[in-house]
Structure 1
Amino acid sequence: MAKTVLNTSVSEQSLQSIQASKKASKRLDRIVSYILLVFMSILFLLPFIWLIGTSLKPEAEAISYPPSLIPKEVDWKNYAEVFELVPFLKFYQNTIIVTLTSVVGTVFSSALVGYGFARINGKGRNFWFMMLLATMMLPSQVTMIPVYLIFAKLGWINTFLPLIVPSFFGSAYFIFLLRQFFRTIPKELDEAAIIDGCGPFRIFWNIMLPLVVPSLLTVAILSFMGSWNDFFGPLIYLNDTSKFTLSLGIQTFKGQNTMLWGPMMAASTMVITPLVVLFFFAQKYFVQGIATSGLKG
């Protein structure tokens, strides 16, 4: 009896020792994970710190060697010079017009096409969907010259139309993303709506769109970021400085033999600020839209 009690006590002690060891191991793993996260966060933040720091340096300190991460003397003059050297507010206005219009066009057209591929049965539906996905493998440089010639024939060069109109024809990636989300919605909703007399577009507008708001916000955020940061499109189609967008307008700080580092960094800081604010407030919906899109075939 005493031997049984002793064995039981030893087993309990061994179990407690194992549990304590596991807890210590988990605690160590958590600490190492936090250290790595902090290190990687600092590593990714260094360019932003450098950007903001340089935007607050006098020009002499901005080009000094060895460079310093934190400005020795904070100078806000660079931000004022941005508006004196270039029509920065005009660049902002142009970018807002192009970006917001492109976002509206991309979200609506991608949702409409994605809904069609997901919910409407038709001959060759899967074939055309595969053809749509195949366009994602085609580099934009391949179609750049033919597309430019088309826009030139239409007289759209040096206007915002080449930057806006293509968004109303949808994006293959966004169509795929929304199609996958639409396919996760029970088809009984469509059947009930049809019994009530709803047509396909009314089902799409009144029933389906409210159910896919997270994915729509994800598409809107990604579309906003892509259009806001677009440099290649404005570079090809815009010639007049008064029509430049921000990404193209920043290049005006670069002269043939000089580079105004302070004002250019100040302008860059003001360019990325809306993106940082947008992602900070919308990251919840962004993650939710990606996580719930599903991969249903």
Structure 2
Amino acid sequence: MQKLETGKTAKINFTKSYKNKKQLEKILLFSVAVILATFWLLPLLWIVSTAFKPESDVIDPIVRWIPKRVTLDNFRIIFSDKENAPILRWFFNSLFIALSHTILILLFDSLAAFAYARLKFKYKETIYWTMMATMMIPGVINFIPAYVIVDKLGWIDTPAAMIFPGLGGVFGVFLLRQFFEGIPKDLDEAALIDGASYFTIYFRIILPLSKPALMTLAVFTFMGNWNDFLWPILVTNDAANRTLPAGLAIFQGTYIHNYGILMAGALISAVPPILLFLLGQKYFVKGIALSGLKE
């Protein structure tokens, strides 16, 4: 009887110790997440704070996170200076280019991923892994041949120069193929028996079930294109044809000492990617979690 009670006591103590260990792990992970989030948020909060400060408060040696005087003058200046900083033109250039690029990436990469995940053809794996190997090549290496091609096509100073060259990336193919392979193939077989074609399976079965992965790729693609700086600088000569990040480089040269105006421009540039992530956060997290899983 005493041995039984001793065994129960030991089991209870082990259970408590295990629960305490799990709680400690959760606390440590939460603490690390809070620290990382703080490091990410502090620069953003400083941009917001500086954007609404008058210049006299910006250069004040005393650091104030909350402005003593809130002003919209910085935004009025950048929206009114259409000659040196056509920021609305840059904004809509970026929006059109990023949206067009994202839609085309989703179309082409999903078609390619469907072929690699569902179809059978000769040398499929060899071709696929050869494509994946190109992900190890730095993108800047392609700048010179890509620029020559864009120049020969007459796309310099046009949105096409910033929409089409990046469509050959294979990251989206990899991401979507991993997700597509997690969808049961029994659905395909049932559809084929009912007389459906592969395009019908792609549009009516695979795509509706792949919203998380598609949203994840859309977020990555949109943010990558929206934040691109070097390539738009190379392929645009007229300032009016530039995207917002590339335009802000000129903008910085114009107002090199006016940090309030610079932060106002940076804040405008940061709003669309943040909104996109917040709107698609549920699908984004789910897509990342499921893309590495297979049936």
Q: TM-score, structure 2 length as denominator?
A: 0.89
User: In the alignment, which residue of structure 1 is the partner of 2:262?
Assistant: 264
For 1:36 and 1:291, locate their aligned partners in 2 and report how far apart those are by CA, in whole Å.
20
For 2:251 and 2:42, locate their aligned partners in 1 and report how far apart those are by CA, in whole Å.
23
For 2:24 and 2:168, locate their aligned partners in 1 and report how far apart those are by CA, in whole Å.
48
Partner amino acid for 1:176? F
1:239 partner SS: coil
1:176 partner SS: helix
Q: Does 1:224 align with 2:222?
A: yes
Partner amino acid for 1:72? K
1:83-232 correspondence to structure 2 within 5 Å: 83-85=79-81, 86-167=85-166, 169-232=167-230
| Unmatched runs of 5 consecutive residues or more in structure 2 | none
User: In the alignment, which residue of structure 2 is the partner of 1:233?
Assistant: 231
User: In the alignment, which residue of structure 2 is the partner of 1:45?
Assistant: 41
User: In the alignment, which residue of structure 1 is the partner of 2:280?
Assistant: 282
For 1:65 and 1:200, locate their aligned partners in 2 and report how far apart those are by CA, in whole Å.
66
Partner amino acid for 1:83? F
Give the Å deviation of 1:28. 4.5
Q: Deviations over 1:135-192 (max 9, x none)?
A: 111112222111111111111111111211235x453011011111122222222222
Give the Å deviation of 1:29. 4.5
Q: Does 1:70 align with 2:69?
A: no
Give the Å deviation of 1:31. 4.1
For 2:256 and 2:264, locate their aligned partners in 1 and report how far apart those are by CA, in whole Å.
17
Q: Report if the CA contact (8 A) 1:217-1:289 is conserved.
A: yes
1:25-44 correspondence to structure 2 within 5 Å: 25-44=21-40
1:235-254 correspondence to structure 2 within 5 Å: 235-254=233-252
For residues 9 and 70 of structure 1, do their structure 2 counterparts lie closer, same or farther at Cα, with a shift above 3 Å needed? same
For 2:277 and 2:94, locate their aligned partners in 1 and report how far apart those are by CA, in whole Å.
18
1:254 partner SS: helix
User: In the alignment, which residue of structure 2 is the partner of 1:81?
Assistant: 77
For residues 248 and 61 of structure 1, do their structure 2 counterparts lie closer, same or farther at Cα, with a shift above 3 Å needed? same
Q: Which has the larger radius of gyration?
A: 1
For 2:58 and 2:132, locate their aligned partners in 1 and report how far apart those are by CA, in whole Å.
47
Partner amino acid for 1:292? L
Give the Å deviation of 1:129. 0.6
Partner amino acid for 1:127? T
Q: Deviations over 1:232-264 (max 9, x none)?
A: 221111111111111112122222783321111
For residues 94 and 69 of structure 1, do their structure 2 counterparts lie closer, same or farther at Cα, with a shift above 3 Å needed? same
For 1:170 and 1:155, locate their aligned partners in 2 and report how far apart those are by CA, in whole Å.
19
Q: Report if the CA contact (8 A) 2:78-2:261 is conserved.
A: yes
Q: Deviations over 1:5-28 (max 9, x none)?
A: x66666655555555555555445
More displaced 10-residue stretch of structure 1: 27-36 or 215-224 = 27-36
Partner amino acid for 1:195? I
1:72 partner SS: coil
Partner amino acid for 2:130? M
For 1:137 and 1:148, locate their aligned partners in 2 and report how far apart those are by CA, in whole Å.
21
1:157 partner SS: coil
Q: Report if the CA contact (8 A) 2:255-2:262 is conserved.
A: no
For 2:194 and 2:253, locate their aligned partners in 1 and report how far apart those are by CA, in whole Å.
66
For 1:255 and 1:166, locate their aligned partners in 2 and report how far apart those are by CA, in whole Å.
28
| Unmatched runs of 5 consecutive residues or more in structure 1 | none
Q: Deviations over 1:6-56 (max 9, x none)?
A: 666666555555555555554455444444433332222111111111111
For 1:22 and 1:180, locate their aligned partners in 2 and report how far apart those are by CA, in whole Å.
35
For 1:164 and 1:20, locate their aligned partners in 2 and report how far apart those are by CA, in whole Å.
58
For residues 35 and 192 of structure 1, do their structure 2 counterparts lie closer, same or farther at Cα, with a shift above 3 Å needed? closer
Aligned residue pairs, count: 292
For residues 28 and 130 of structure 1, do their structure 2 counterparts lie closer, same or farther at Cα, with a shift above 3 Å needed? closer
For 1:261 and 1:119, locate their aligned partners in 2 and report how far apart those are by CA, in whole Å.
53
Q: Report if the CA contact (8 A) 1:56-1:266 is conserved.
A: yes
